[in-house]
Amino acid sequence: MNTSDLDSLAILPPCLDDIEILHQEPGFLIINKPSGLLSVPARHPANRDSVLVRMQSLYRAASIVHRLDFDTSGILVIPLSPACLSEISKQFQSRRVSKTYTAVVAGIVKKEAGIIDLPIAADMENRPKYKICAATGKESTTEYKLLGVDEIEQTSRLSLHPITGRSHQLRLHLQAIGHPILGDVFYADEISQLKSPRLLLHATEIQFYHPDTKLPVIFNSSVPF
């Protein structure tokens, strides 16, 4: 990468928050990623700080099998061996891993539950953004449940279950139905952005099959907002 390429890349603010280890086994960790931390290093050398780098400084064999956006906080599974990485990777590929998120969005959501089924494609003219696109987008499905509303603030708290795992899926789907996530600097309107200093999206639960016992396991992370 040459100097002009580096100059075009943004340098992210440092993340001063620690990674919390929620559960530890010989084959994997369950951690809580803070908002404002990358899952893996970005292209600019100044953006090396990430879950992967921090975990490998403590556990040499640590690897990444799935990611959370820089702005999203919450639960991640970190394999600690090649065998565990392979097994959990296969579960993600076959959609046997279930994830749940909590979000606070703008506006009062009227339905108690619903399904958002809108295709997502890369927005090549506005990278790194994505867009809803019927022509070239990939199938993308999100289930949601209403957890509560704040009539004074005119916001709603939702539980989100992505059936597919597209980049920016939850942000885009909620923006598309008129309820952007508060603090979303990519897709929310200015008022919704300014209602929170961070993206109000947190990965609260992950369920998969234990690599050794093959039995289902569930891990949770409390919502910080």
What residues act catalytically? 69
Say if CB 15 and CB 33 are below 8 A apart.
no
**Rounded CA separation 28/61 (Å):** 10
Query: SS3 helix, strand, coil % of the chain, rounded to 5?
Result: 20, 35, 50
Residue 63 DSSP SS3: coil
Q: Which residues of 166-185 are buried (b: 16+ CB within 10 A; e: fewer)?
A: bebbbbbbbbbbebbbbbbe
Q: Which two tokens stand for residue 98?
A: 């279930």
Helix spans in 36-129 (H): 51-58, 82-93
Burial class of residue 155 in the structure, from the number of CB atoms within 10 Å of its CB (0-12 exposed, 13-18 middle, 19+ buried): buried
Q: How many CB atoms lie within 10 A of CB 137?
A: 17
